[in-house]
A and B are shown apart, each in its own frame.
Chain A
Amino acid sequence: MKFNVLKGPFFKSKNSTHRIMLNLFIALLPIILFSFYKNGIVVYQNNKTDIFGMFYPLLFTLTGIVSSFLTETLYTYIFLKKRGTELKKSILNSFSIFPGLFVSLFLPLNTPIEILIFACVVAIIIGKMLYGGFGHNVFNPALIGVLFALTCYGSIINQNGGYINKYELDTIGSATPLTNYKLVEGIGTYDTVVKPFGSLGDFFIGNIPGGPGEVCSFLIILAFIYLVFTKVIKWKIPVIYVGTVFIMTTIIGSINGVGLWYPTFSILSGGLLFGAVFMATDPVTSPTTSVGQIIYALFLGILTVTFRYLTSAPEGVLTSILTMNMFVMILDRIGSSSKPSIKKIALPLLIGLTIMTTMSIHIGNKFKHPNGTDPNFKLIKKTKDYYMVSQKGNGGPIKAKIYIKDNQITKIEILENNETENYFKLVKEAKYTKTLIKNQDNLDNIDTISGATISSTALKKMIIHVKEDMSK
């Protein structure tokens, strides 16, 4: 007879970290397949790519998974000097495929494959292993990798086609809803914001250009329900995060007199839903206490709206999550004190809600403008021979002197610009100003330059406004 002296409790739940990770993968599977359908099968069916191109989206994801797995395994082998069963155990328990998988779902599909691999290496080494591996990292490793790729190689990725697949290039054009949104006047109208991409229904089912994982809101919501049902993620974070963005954009919208389509567009565009469901809920880098989670999610919403409206970047999800990752420890400290929940949460919640409302009102008013004028356009000087104007581009105002003769534009001279050099080079190389002058009576039909959409659109708008003024 053997009586084992073990430590209780002698009942353990059947749930395990491996099961949690498996469920996470199951939730992601439809999203991976949707990207294969949208960016592979549909493109192939329309004869825009070959059979290799059809399977490329799957290959892209697989590359992400494999490179992040290999990086971590090699790191563990070389630097942590683990061998044999210890190595096996470490591989089994560190879930190293996920950072790479998420990187591949976040990065534009046209990212050159070597940049994807590099981003995965950065995600694993800088984002995860240098902190001590699984469970110890402060920042979300996948987002570290994505941020690295987008800041260092953004222009290369854009030149390579960015988010747009070959079929969309023909049907929709070269901008994602959020890059397009940056260019509309004020906060835009349904016709300028949503219509170029179809309807809000297209946003919901993912029939819009964007990152491989982020476009299909419907599947992301399904995944959310699955993950909450299987108790993998903390439901409070996505709900409060998206809710905050919804409320703030509702306020911004109502100040500018637009309907509920506007906040709906705001939450269905960009990586908000994907980030809220999969990235903001990463257990390692989000608060463990529920009070912490509520404050964390509220501030995520505030930051995302702020970044989207008040910086030049079209998207704010990635940066908001990485920013809030830094505060997780403090939030958990607030959340874990022995005071009753109401007392713990009252002050930070009050601060958060105050910032939320004032920020919404501020943004709403900032974008408010009399009908028919473009706040991004400024007429600086007007003479018989030339216009001195400026138009907001990607990096700030583009200032130009536009020569006129007999009611026709004869020359466009760019005086100042703060555009990213690589992008603006494309505009110059394409001799875009010449095209504009040539087609000045038929501007609506001119394409913008893919890879430098914002800069070229700004120039186009500038000329449109000048023509409008001339015809008065």
Chain B
Amino acid sequence: MIGIKLDKHKKETMNELTNYLKPKYVYFKIDGNNELLIKENDKVKMGEKIIKTKFDSFIHSSVSGKFIGIEEHIDYKNNKAKFIKIENDFKETNCFNEIPKKLTKDEFVNLLKDSGIVGLGGAGFPTYIKYDTDQVKTLIINGVECEPYITSDHITLFNKAKEIIKALNTIDKIYNLDEIFIAIKTGNPNLKEKIIPLISKYPKIKLVELPNLYPMGWEKSLVRCIKHTDYKKLPIEKNIIVSNASTIYSIFEALVGIPLIEKVITVSGNAVNKPTNIRIKVGTMFNDLLDTFKGYSEEDVVLISGGPMMGEAIESDEFIIPNNLNSVVVLKNTKVLDPITCLRCGKCADHCPVKICPVLVKDNIKDIDELKRLDVNRCIECGICSFVCPSKINLREYLKQAKKKVK
């Protein structure tokens, strides 16, 4: 089995959940690819469709209030972008719909599209596209969360286990599945005890515990470990859908009429005073949460949107939290060691989960034909090569470059 052991740092936030559901303003990114459905000074209701995305899905206002203008902010990838700004009137007038109890597959797919459900594992890919199929036999619920610090899936799975299982049951009725796996990590007895009695009524739902390795939460390793099979591009080739646990919870909410307007994010790391999970409105500015996690314990930090392995450093804490971000990790700034000459030890190649040889990618970074031969597009940017490199060479950066070059 491929993977590495990382320090988990999960204890700090495993049982912590607070709410921050009354932001003064919320912000939603607009760019050339999506269509704005409201005009400036329009009043909006909570749950109202305000943006149509390029995938024909929607973004909903997470508060009720007024669209007061367009501002420039940084997004969670540290890029400047335009955001619409909605001022909260705190009235919480909503426009949630009644959803019929029984749904056909097409109605269900449309519901996912209308509710703006996206993969909450981080990719943010519209979920309705995944579910628009007749092939699915197996559903895998990803509750593995292999990145250090992050516990938002855990806390959702723990607190909302009943709701998630209810949603799974509904999905099963629509698709008539063969089996459903809820994948969690080993060494999480509380969660296990919580889930087992709840699934006892549903013979199709099984709980699987997977080893504590990174990147276990990657779809391919999940499928490999649970179903012992491999696919080329998408799990549906083997009649499998993999969905994140938090995504299933947002499907539950969609089934009762609430679109994706709230989510849980983990704020943790060795430079925050009170690491915690926070339930927030989508579109909240991260800076607003300062009081909730009691500020930073250090002056000189690295603020990472996402986990420490795959996340991105952000230049300011005034960035907007989108619907697909599940954690912010703030770490003390430790001095980065200068890379030295590659020793050619091959540890990067040994540990690569997609069997690329990163050192050769680095050597041949200018040779596009060679990069094609090395098939760099398989790279999932998990960062293990950079992690294990004894010479401290950031190989992932070379791979990112290489991927751009062969495109």
Contacts and interface: CB of A to CB of B under 8 A. Distances in A.
Nearest to B373: A337
B373 A20 contact: no
Nearest to A15: B390
Contact of B349 (A3, A11, A290): A290
Interface in A262-315: 283-284, 286-290, 293
Interface stretch (B53-61, B201-209, B238-246, B312-320): B312-320
Interface in A1-52: 1-13, 15-17, 19-20
Given A288-B346, A288-B349, A5 B308 contact: no
B345 to A, nearest CB: 4
A2 B271 CA distance: 12
B392 interface: yes
B231 to A, nearest CB: 14
Choose among B304, B342, B345 the residue with the greatest number of A CB atoms under 10 Å from its CB: B345
Prevailing SS type, chain A contact patch: loop
Contact of A8 (B311, B315, B342): B311
Interface string A225-252: 0000001001000000000000000000
A8 B313 contact: yes
A287 B360 CA distance: 11
Nearest to B360: A336
B344 A288 contact: yes
Nearest to A94: B341
Nearest to A336: B357
Interface size class on chain B is 35 or more
Contacts of B301: 1-4
A7 B313 contact: yes
Contacts of B309: 8-11
Interface in B86-124: none
A332 B344 CA distance: 11
A93 B387 contact: no
B254 interface: no
A9 B387 contact: yes
B336 interface: yes
Contacts of B336: 6
A289 B313 CA distance: 32
B350 A17 contact: no
B388 A290 contact: no
Contact of A3 (B314, B375, B391): B314
A332 B296 CA distance: 47
A4 B329 CA distance: 13
Interface string B314-328: 111100000000000
B340 interface: yes
A420 B388 CA distance: 51
Interface string B366-406: 00000001110010000100111111101011000000000
Interface string A176-195: 00000000000000000000
B333 A4 contact: yes
Interface string B296-311: 1001111110001111
A234 B343 CA distance: 13
Given A8-B309, A9-B308, A10-B304, A3 B345 contact: no
B302 A20 contact: no
Contacts of A396: none
A229 to B, nearest CB: 15
Given A5-B313, A8-B304, 12 more contacts: A1-B301, A2-B299, A2-B301, A10-B309, A16-B391, A17-B340, A17-B343, A20-B343, A135-B344, A231-B347, A288-B359, A338-B375
22 contacts: A3-B302, A3-B303, A3-B317, A7-B394, A8-B304, A9-B383, A10-B302, A11-B7, A11-B148, A11-B387, A15-B388, A15-B390, A20-B345, A135-B341, A234-B345, A284-B343, A286-B344, A288-B345, A332-B357, A336-B349, A336-B360, A338-B378
